[in-house]
Amino acid sequence: MSYTKEDILRISKEENVRFVRLQFTDLLGAIKNVEIPVSQLTKALDNKMMFDGSSIEGYVRIEESDMYLYPDLDSWLIFPWVSDNRVARLICDVYLPDGNPFPGDPRGILKRNLREAEEMGFTSFNVGPEPEFFLFKTDEKGNPTNELNDQGGYFDLAPTDLGENCRRDIVITLEEMGFEIEASHHEVAPGQHEIDFKYADALKAADQIQTFKLVVKTIARQHGLHATFMPKPLFGMNGSGMHCNQSLFRGNENAFVDESDELGLSKTARHFMAGTLKHARAFAAITNPTVNSYKRLVPGYEAPCYVAWSASNRSPMIRIPASRGLSTRVEVRNPDPAANPYLALAVLLKAGLDGIKRELSLPAPIDRNIYIMSEEERVEEGIPSLPADLKEALNELIRSEVICDALGDHALAHFYELKEIEWDMYRTQVHQWERDQYITLY
């Protein structure tokens, strides 16, 4: 829905809105906000709300800290879980005092890459994300424990699926907030869940992912549970992914469709996929951005470890779902929900566009189960692996001119620095596994 300033001021009065959260996202994907009383809403709508950017992860130094929040009026939303003193939100872009967009704003980075797609004749980049999450019990202080809420499995239902009521309340809340929910179900691992919402253009999809995470965590807490989007919270169980279904449109035409093709895929779709495969190892640091992300990307737990594609096989990184026509899409399966959605969609788009620009050739599909292939067979088939850890992913990222360009110099430098620190902290820490293995052996 589109809103004007006048619409927002009128609705806030009619709905007794008392506070407004001006939300934005830091470089690591965390939602940040400043809450203002409704008396300051006009000032915010005039793009005059300032904040200290030096206190935000990955933004700027203290000597260049002043920044402004420019609300996206179409993101206006009233939170349904507060009845008295109602609270609304506006998602904001971040600008510098000189009126230029801040180059390190993740939402602005996605917008910049979307403009490149428009210059190539694509009017929209549609994305249908599938973020998974776990529900853990909390202790008497409300802190998360290691105890799962249920022992259900894929598509199980109550009483095995004890997260059913919480998941249903999440769906109801999301629908009240304008989401079109397509399905919700228990996932493969105990305590793991998935709620699918309808695809949208990439900017709205990234906004929805952030809103989705906020709603899931809020409603879970109301049920005495802790929801986590950590990629691999438990050893020996499936991790959580965020498969991204992608398509490019020219007006009302899906540019990925060619009915004369054996698989119904256009040359544009094939070039896009070739670009995705070409740059997969480089963008992994963005789509799988934590040390923990690479604990998920291992054989045996349905997560894609190998850079390949198939029209049906789920072991490669890219799958082509069966739907055709306007629903023809490319499903990229390696991203996880710890990713900053704006940066993840930006690099996925950039990789695909590079494939289209350079008319890269798509390798043959891999319709065998890659998990059971030997290393020699994978080499013979030309199937590389995704990075094995965050350090390897960072090394691949910094060598890729295309993915570095997608991020821009500011975001690249700050993201790389933050992740180098994360890796070094992990590398030098002594973990419980090491004590269990070595303390009595040596």
The set of catalytic residues is 52, 130, 132, 187, 194, 243, 314, 331, 333
- 300: which residues sit within 8 A by CB, 6+ positions away? 371
Residue 169: enclosing H or E segment and its boundaries? helix 164-176
Size (the chain), residues: 442
Separation of alpha carbons 104 and 418, rounded Å: 14
- 95: which residues sit within 8 A by CB, 6+ positions away? 47, 67, 68, 69, 70, 101, 102
The reply to whether omega before 71 is within 30° of 0 (cis) is no
Inter-residue contact 152 to 163 (CB < 8 Å) = yes
Inter-residue contact 255 to 266 (CB < 8 Å) = yes
Separation of alpha carbons 345 and 221, rounded Å: 29
Which of 234, 229, 224 lies closest to 141, judged by CA? 224
Q: What are the Cα distances from residue 86, in Å, to 13, 37, 80, 197?
A: 11, 11, 8, 25
Phi, psi angles (nearest 5°) of residue 134: -110, 150
Separation of alpha carbons 227 and 206, rounded Å: 19
Inter-residue contact 315 to 264 (CB < 8 Å) = no
Separation of alpha carbons 403 and 284, rounded Å: 10
List, in sequence order, the alpha helices (H) in 223-304: 267-278, 280-287, 293-296
Structure tokens at 358: 């350079």
